[in-house]
Chain A
């Protein structure tokens, strides 16, 4: 069966520090991968998605970047965090065929102080 791992679960970082969140998927190949952000009390905002290694699409211009160095690994990064980067970050994957649901990791609670 397929599983998705996302870490760390919580993170407190000072303003201006770098960020690296990692997500890996097991039990499937060539998944579509996604990073979402959920601000407190708000809905889900799609940040990045990837349909293959090295293929990243950005939905919202911002202080973050994403990379996919391996087929089942998706990394969210920042060189210098802002206070506004605080939120709940969710990684997800879906199969590469049409109209399939996405499966989510447990999320990372990021607090920038």
Chain B
């Protein structure tokens, strides 16, 4: 079945550091890929998405590129802020359906 693997956290960075959170997936065909963010005590919010190979999703300074050849969708941000501290989830929906499969989540802590 479909699966999503993302790096375990917590990831601790200083403000203005570069962020990468790795995400790889296993799925047949061409799934859609998502990054969600969860701030403390809240539900999940869609951060960005990509629906086909080589698409780049971007939002709030975050970017991720759909790499079919490496089955990856790594999240990056050039300069993190304390307000980016949250849990980040990589997810996919399969080509033939719309059931989300989530990775285990990565906690990011940004220190001033």
Q: Which of B11-19, B41-49, B59-67, B68-76 interfaces with chain A? A: B41-49
Contact with A along B23-41 (1 / 0, CB 8 A): 0000000011010100001
Q: A42-B104, A43-B89, A101-B34 given as contacts; is B98 within 8 A of A96 (CB)? A: yes
Chain B residues with CB under 8 Å of A43's CB are: 89, 102-105
Choose one: B36, B96, B100, B102; the contact of A94 (CB below 8 Å). Answer: B100
User: How many residues of chain A are within 8 Å of chain B by beta carbon?
Assistant: 25
Q: Which of A65-73, A75-83, A105-113 interfaces with chain B? A: A105-113
User: How many residues of chain B are within 8 Å of chain A by beta carbon?
Assistant: 25
**Interchain CA distance A56-B31 in the complex, whole Å:** 24
Choose one: A42, A44, A99; the contact of B98 (CB below 8 Å). Answer: A99
**For window 3-41 of chain A, which residues contact chain B by CB distance below 8 Å?**
6, 32, 34
Contact assessment for B32 and A99 in the assembled complex, using a CB-CB cutoff below 8 Å: yes
Looking at chain B's contact residues, the main secondary structure is: loop
**For window 77-112 of chain B, which residues contact chain A by CB distance below 8 Å?**
89, 93-100, 102-105
**Interchain CA distance A95-B97 in the complex, whole Å:** 11
Contact assessment for B95 and A90 in the assembled complex, using a CB-CB cutoff below 8 Å: no
**B22 part of interface (Cβ distance < 8 Å):** no
Taking CB as reference atom, which chain A residue is nearest B48?
A: A101
Q: Would you list 15 pairs from A and B whose C-beta atoms are within 8 A, ordered by A residue?
A: A32-B98, A34-B100, A42-B105, A44-B44, A44-B89, A44-B105, A46-B99, A92-B44, A96-B98, A98-B96, A98-B97, A99-B51, A105-B43, A106-B42, A107-B42
